[in-house]
Amino acid sequence: MMQQGQANETYECGIDSVLSAIDRSTARILYTALNGRELDYEQGLHLAQTTGAELDAMVRTADILRREAVGDVITYVVNRNINFTNVCFVGCRFCAFSRAPREKDAYFLGFDEVADRAREAWERGAREVCVQGGLPRGLDPFYYRDLLTAIKRATPEMHIHAFSPMEIVYGVELTGMPLADYLKMLRDAGLDTLPGTAAEILDDEVRRFIERQKLSAAQWVEVITTAHRLGIRTTSTMMYGHTENESHWVRHMLLLRDIQSDTGGFTEFVPLGFVHEFTQLYRSGDARPGPRDDEHLKVHALARLMLRGRIDNIQVSWVKLTRERAQACLRAGANDYGGTLMDENISRLAGSTSGQYLSPEEFHTRIRELGRIPAERTTTYQLRQVFH
């Protein structure tokens, strides 16, 4: 029987025959990546526009680079989502989660209920809570600080992954504090890491079209880089499959790569496919009906190639993908399955049918189907348990 090391060597040697069968310009770019050199904008755009055999070769190359960077372990985190309110004044056209204050299904959880959910999550094995919500008018200026305090009081050892850059900007506006001082206050109150959500596409022309009142690309970058300088690590994300094109993907990834080169503060990159069905952006005819199957593969593979050596962890957002698509993306350069979630609402309300929770056992089943090794991780990618 062929041993694992021999199998990997055979697999990687086989890339030469794959690349020799495609057009020379694509092959040259893929060899550039395989030889450890960073890709520039033109090379990235060329890959982002590949189809057919060239796309297959790109996927194969991304999978090789994934193995070189992180091996054959696929990680996940046991966590719970807590969306403390769906009341929001921003009105993003791609969101079906937010509600006006008087709508019948509007809600706002009290501190005690949020603390109870964190405590229950801990008892069920979660070691992270991901806390985000809408932006209600008239919020107490120190609400986010006090929410962190309530969670830490209930679960002192729980990792709190909370508040998008949009929420941070709102908190700064409410308190009048300088951004760095505000983030320090949250850090001291229990904030461990920050979700790099609200990024969508970091291009202001696209942003103005899809989200009207939301923060600018420069504001997103300022929040993220300030957090990194304060020792608060963050994720990074990109939403694709709506109104953007391939050039936006490449510029977005290059910006993230530049930030990581400066700060080293990103833990992962998470491509987020646009879930379209119940959104105003799609129903008005202004957006595509989500990404095509080849775009899911292309974005995950492109991320591995463009972010190589900078952001090593590429996550699939299983809640926005079918089971089959998530598995395919894990063969296209991704290495992390995300979190168990235990109460996912934002994608579900936009039309996702992938569910609100995946158990560790289900992660193990899916990962082993791929011939890979399941491992539970922390939010910052320290391995807690490897299930050989």
3-state helix, strand, coil in the chain (%, to 5): 45, 15, 40
pLDDT tens per residue across span 132-146: 999 999 999 999 999
Q: Which pLDDT belongs to residue 6?
A: 41
pLDDT of 348 over the 60 cut = no
Q: Shortest CA distance to 148 belongs to which of 174, 164, 129, 135?
A: 129
For residue 101, what pLDDT band results from cuts at 50, 70 and 90? confident
In angstroms, the CA 137 to CA 151 distance is 23
Q: For residue 255, what pLDDT is reported?
A: 98
Band (276; pLDDT cuts 50, 70, 90): low
Kindly tell me if the per-residue pLDDT of 156 is higher than 50: yes
Q: What is the pLDDT of residue 355?
A: 57
Residue 347 has pLDDT above 50, yes or no: no
| Rounded Cα gap, residues 176 and 183, in angstroms | 12
- Pick the range with the lowest mean pLDDT from 13-22, 54-63, 309-318, 333-342: 13-22
Q: Quick one: which of 295, 277, 378 has its CA closest to 336?
A: 378
pTM of the model: 0.92
In terms of DSSP bridges, do strands 79-83 and 128-132 run parallel, antiparallel, or are they unpaired?
parallel
Tell me the three state secondary structure of residue 375. strand
Per CATH, the number for 74-386 is 3.20.20.70
What proportion of the chain, given as a percentage, has pLDDT over 70?
Answer: 91
The confidence score (pLDDT) of residue 275 equals: 86
Q: Is 233 a residue whose pLDDT tops 80?
A: yes
pLDDT tens-digit series, residues 30-50: 999 999 999 999 999 999 999
Per residue in 296-310, pLDDT (tens digit) is 999 999 999 999 999
Structure tokens at 336: 């992390």
**Cα 82 from Cα 351, distance rounded (Å):** 19
**Angstrom distance (rounded) from CA 211 to CA 145:** 26
Give, as one character, the DSSP assignment of residue 319. G
Percent of the residues in the chain that have a pLDDT greater than 90, as a whole number: 81
pLDDT per position as a tens digit, 103-129: 888 999 999 999 999 999 999 999 999
The pLDDT score that the predictor gives to residue 351 is: 43
Summarize the confidence of residues 274-281 as an average pLDDT.
77
Angle at 353 between CA 349 and CA 359, to 5 degrees: 105
pLDDT at 1 over 50: no
Mean pLDDT of the chain: 91
Sign of CA dihedral 64, 318, 90, 94: positive
The answer to which of 82-91, 218-227, 329-338 has the lowest mean pLDDT is 82-91
User: Worst-scoring range by mean pLDDT, 167-176, 338-347, 363-372?
Assistant: 338-347
pLDDT tier at 12 (50, 70, 90 boundaries)? low
Is the pLDDT assigned to residue 214 strictly greater than 90? no
Domain range list for the chain: 4-69, 74-386
Q: Please, which pLDDT band fits residue 94 given cuts at 50, 70 and 90? A: low
